[in-house]
Amino acid sequence: MDHGIRKTGWIYSELYNWHDTGSYNMLWAPDLTTQPGQHVENADSKRRFANLVDVSALADDLVRIKPRPATDDEILRFHTPTHISHLEGLCASGGGEAGGKTHVGRASFDIARLAVGGVLEAVDAVIKGAVDNAYVLCRPPGHHAEAELVTGFCLLANGVLGVEHARAVHGLKRIVVLDWDVHHGNSAETAFYDDPDVLTISLHQDNLFPQGRGKASDTGGASAQGANMNIPLPPGSGSGAYRYAFDSVVLPAIEQFGPDMIFVASGFDAAAMDPLGHMMLSSEDYRYMTERLLQVADKCCGGRIVATHEGGYSPGYVPYCGLAVIEALSGASAKITDPFLDYIANYGAQELQSHQKTQIDAVASAHILKQAAE
């Protein structure tokens, strides 16, 4: 067994794959125009990620933690009773469109409870020191769900509920939520916009989804100026842009904030082969972001990181990106090489482009000015 340098919790259940999003026209095509296909948010990329971990040398090295269903009280720390009854009622009647291109099946709400409960178990394990960090490969995703809003394939706000659990049950004070999914992390932004104790950072493709959200000028409410950071990146951003944003903006902001714990909304739809995103990241870029984040986490909060799985729709490539993150979190080797790495690294314009640098620098100066004005 190849022990890593850290104990990494691995929270996953086959039941996550049984959230049935059905057959659906992807995404906006009306009926009787193009042939319906499988909903883009289906189990495939997640199950393949878990399977790659299982056949790799990491399989025996992770600390497997069983998810449990979250209770109503735990869900109500952010959502409303109306939200719960809407989803429970729809599932009980057999499922259907729950809002915002988000389909549910009969068991979907029970599985959504299990996704939230997986995050809560991960938080408990990390804070109690049973593991150093944890990855929750849960489904349905959560980083678009708001208090009473189902959208973007998300039913319950898995990550937000993890933050609230860490505060309510464990008394943590200052928390960072870093969202590297290619879509904007509107769930955490909305939940904590006026909260100076939670720094929310979203790196995303400029105005991809939800449109109109994720602007660089949205820097937090009046009582929490600077505690929300949006880094919208132009389509076509690759390794250079993401690494520059990470090193010049994301990491300094986290270090300055000084969190007790870091949550990552870990989507892999900024990867080069994703059908919904238009970015060019490789598994090595996800490894880089994870390793750099761990360095800052070590300084700030004893390395405490809980990553929750979000988007990522390439069944072929999500597994390799995910494996790189797990390798970085655990410090162990999976002894598997990403077969797409050289191909993606050779794409044109992987290095930082001037229009990307301009956009990232603008975020940095906005936040430096805010801090100086305090």
Residues within the interface to Zn ion (CB under 5 A): 181, 183, 267, 269, 311
In the complex, what is the shortest distance from the CB of residue 183 to Zn ion, in angstroms, rounded to a whole number?
A: 4
Distance CA 276, CA 297 (A): 30
Distance CA 286, CA 334 (A): 15
Please give the torsion angle defined by the CA atoms of residues 231, 329, 160 and 74, in that order, rounded to the nearest 10 degrees. 180
Q: Which is nearer to Zn ion, 141 or 259 (CB)?
A: 141
Q: Which is nearer to Zn ion, 224 or 264 (CB)?
A: 264
Distance CA 276, CA 279 (A): 9
Place of tokens 């729950």: 98
In the complex, what is the shortest distance from the CB of residue 242 to Zn ion, in angstroms, rounded to a whole number?
A: 15
Please state, as a whole number, how many other Cβ atoms lie within 10 Å of the Cβ of residue 368.
14
In the complex, what is the shortest distance from the CB of residue 209 to Zn ion, in angstroms, rounded to a whole number?
A: 7
> Which residues does the annotation mark as catalytic?
144
Q: Which residue is nearest to Zn ion (CB)?
A: 311
Q: Which is nearer to Zn ion, 13 or 266 (CB)?
A: 266
**327: number of CA atoms within 13 Å, CB side?**
24
Q: Which is nearer to Zn ion, 162 or 185 (CB)?
A: 185
Q: Which is nearer to Zn ion, 139 or 183 (CB)?
A: 183
Residue 204 contacts residue 233 (beta carbons within 8 Å): yes
In the complex, what is the shortest distance from the CB of residue 37 to Zn ion, in angstroms, rounded to a whole number?
A: 19
Residue 329 contacts residue 289 (beta carbons within 8 Å): no
Distance CA 368, CA 225 (A): 11
In the complex, what is the shortest distance from the CB of residue 111 to Zn ion, in angstroms, rounded to a whole number?
A: 19
Q: Which is nearer to Zn ion, 65 or 271 (CB)?
A: 271
Q: Which is nearer to Zn ion, 238 or 311 (CB)?
A: 311
Beta strand ranges found along the chain (DSSP E): 8-11, 23-24, 37-38, 63-65, 96-99, 102-104, 133-136, 175-179, 198-205, 228-233, 261-266, 305-309
β 198-205/305-309 pair status: unpaired
Place of tokens 């289906």: 42
In the complex, what is the shortest distance from the CB of residue 143 to Zn ion, in angstroms, rounded to a whole number?
A: 7
* Residue 159 CB-density burial (10 A; 0-12 exposed, 13-18 middle, 19+ buried): buried
* Residue 37 CB-density burial (10 A; 0-12 exposed, 13-18 middle, 19+ buried): exposed
In the complex, what is the shortest distance from the CB of residue 310 to Zn ion, in angstroms, rounded to a whole number?
A: 6
